[in-house]
Amino acid sequence: MSLVVAVGAGVGIGAGQLFFHRGRGIYRSRRVRLFKTRAALVESRPRIVPTAVTVRDDNNSNSDNAQLIYRKGLDRAEDIQAEARAMARAANATVYSPQLLALKYNSRPIKVLRRTLQILIALGSFGLKLAIDQRNGVLNQNKRLRAIELRRIFTRLGPTFVKLGQGLSTRPDICPPEYLEELSELQDALPTFPDEEAFACIERELGLSLDSIYSCISPQPIAAASLGQVYKAQLKYSGQIVAVKVQRPGIEEAIGLDFYLIRGLGFLVNKYVDIISSDAVALIDEFASRVYQELNYVQEGQNARRFKKLYADKEEVLVPDIFWDYTSGKVLTMDWVDGVKLNEQAAIEKQGLKVLDLVNTGIQCSLRQLLEYGYFHADPHPGNLLATPDGKLAFLDFGMMSETPEVARSAIIGHVVHMVNRDYEAMARDYYALDFLSRDVDVSPIVPALRNFFDDALNSTVSELNFKTIVDGLGAVLYQYPFNVPAYYALILRSLTVLEGLALYADPNFKVLAASYPYFAKRLLTDPNPYLRDALIELLFKDGKFRWNRLENLLVQGRKDKDFSAKDALQPVLKLLLGPDGEELRKLVIKEAVRVNEAFVLGTVIDTYNSIPDLMRTLVFNGNATGPLMMSDTERESMIGLRDQVLRIWVLLQSSENFDPAILQPILQVLQQPEARSLGGRVIGGITQRLAARLLQQVLRVPTTASATTL
């Protein structure tokens, strides 16, 4: 049965009448307002917002609360049932299987040959033009022209190559800037398929007529993506404005044949191309499986729900939810949210918003995705990031997701610590935990390569490093040695590179690592994970000496994170210090405690002496101008500096939100326990010995020399 949407001549949706023409009958919708097509999309399920209730007594209040809880329980039960029905509609969704593709296309040589020739002619002619440009010395001058041609070639070759181009558009380590800019247009500027086919798909998938679902629907798609296109509509039962995403017809057949051919190319690459050390077939299979997952819109809806549960607890982040009753394997119904793409700086600033604030929100959310829960959005191109009028950052399109293994999450943070410490041996060993190398590979040859790159890069502070600089430097190392970069790591680089690229449009001096530092500092100071606890100890102690400047810097940076809690700071280290496995740490702490106490005692003496009038000093010390203490300028400055630094750290802790002096209570408690009293005794004994030695030195002191100063 044919279905067309017609709008009266010269009349837009909402201003005139919108008709659904179905055979002989005509369904006329009620009048609706004009839809603004500049808005973007997120998804949601209708929510019941409880009305305000005047509480007259406790019984009424308890009754209202019970009713609200009951209503929420019913809503949740209905939602679960609706999701189950959506899953049943998507039960026959296709999954990626190289074996099934081989079985299917091995018996269709003519079709395979025709598509192979189409791809070879398109890409071969492009490669020939590049070779001619290089031969004529105009390769750089023609970059923009060739980038436009490549974008058009990918568009003509269809959805598989559009997805490939989208991936390349976020890889500055592979593509020149001209290619990045042109390929980024693949995110939206795609040809649409006929609206009649889209509307027929909605009816077929949901088993309902279009006019029974919507009061009105846009006559043309609002946006077209590589795998589908989106319409704006109004639900008939609730009046809510929604986005309806409909899958392209024949998409499974198209991408199936392409991946069959590309996989065959992967076998040739593995066999004959030595420069690529990774398993090309495995990478293709990984990419193909993710693309096939995007074809199941119920799976995308479940991805959105999980993402919302994990990350939408922050008020500045907006995450979609799903209308399960109007969702199937090929149709996804979503809330409509007005907003601006994150790469449209002028439009964002016109709303009184700042791009850098939104990018920082994106970076903090991405760090939580990558390193806290491990579940992250693997396709954060500008079309999937939206700035809402109230300043929130909306994440869209949850078809492509990935996960960071738990071991790798800690290893990445540890890797940053080792980079800060310039501990290249430890950096090389991190690649075992990151699953870059098998345990039988010797990492010692990798250390000089890391040292050569990072010694130059780290001449500036780590926070000043451009993320692309690190990606390029590590890329050079990865290509030289037998690394096998996991898919999740490539997606992490892609995610952070995209965010940094968006920020650089607004501020050429923006550094993603500087924006990430507060999160890393917070995790190091508060996370009880043994790997991170050891990384913190490694960062704070060097050659048996505590580095107070590192602790101060961590606290300064950590306080910038909105989730930083002073009461949690250093708790993991305190637990280790007071635990049965903390003997080595206790030795270091005892040594440092003695040094700090000495600095406070002698600093107090120095301050007291300096506060005495000159005449009084002469009378008290019988005319001896050398004063009560004798030490070199370097030693005096070191003592005062240490004391002042410890005081600054204490002020930082005190001024932090949610600070509670009780965080130090465990130390006092442990000193009172019989099994740990020796720790306190060792500290007191060390302090006594140091002060006695210092007193003896002053009693037996020699006359003032050029290297000493009177205090």
Which burial class, exposed, middle or buried, applies to 246 when counting CB atoms under 10 A from its CB (0-12, 13-18, 19+)? buried
d(CA 672, CA 151): 72
Told to judge if 379 belongs to the known catalytic residues of this protein, a careful annotator would answer: yes
Place of tokens 């708790």: 571
Residue 113: how many other CB atoms lie within 10 Å: 10
Closest CA to 563 of 594, 612, 526, 615: 526
Q: Is 401 helix (H, G, I), strand (E, B) or coil?
A: strand
Compute CA distances 264 → 110, 272, 287, 565, 667, whole Å. 16, 13, 14, 53, 64
- 335, 379, 527, 561: the active-site residue: 379
Dihedral angle sign, alpha carbons of residues 157, 162, 165, 169: positive
- The bridge status of strand 393-395 relative to strand 317-318 is parallel
Q: Which of 417, 415, 449 is nearest to 432 (CA)?
A: 415
Residues 6+ positions from 210 with CB-CB distance below 8 Å:
3, 20, 199, 202, 203, 217
Q: How far is CA 102 from CA 260, 261, 262, 622, in A?
A: 7, 10, 12, 101
Distances from the Cα of 93 to the Cαs of 99, 173, 229, 231, 251, in angstroms? 17, 35, 18, 22, 12
Place of tokens 């290893």: 411
The region that residue 135 occupies, defined by phi over 0 for left and psi between -120 and 50 for alpha, beta otherwise, is alpha
**Alpha-helix runs per DSSP H in 312-354:** 345-350
Residue 185: C-alpha distances to residues 231, 355, 381, 508 (Å):
20, 20, 10, 22
Would you say 664 and 570 are in contact if contact means Cβ atoms under 8 Å apart?
A: no
Alpha-carbon distance of 600 to 641, in angstroms, equals 10
3-state percent helix, strand, coil for the chain, nearest multiple of 5: 60, 10, 30
Strands, E, within 200-277: which ranges?
214-217, 223-224, 228-235, 241-247
The closest alpha carbon to 332, from 633, 123, 93, belongs to: 93
CA dist., res. 232 & res. 285, Å (int) = 34
> Which residues form the catalytic set?
379
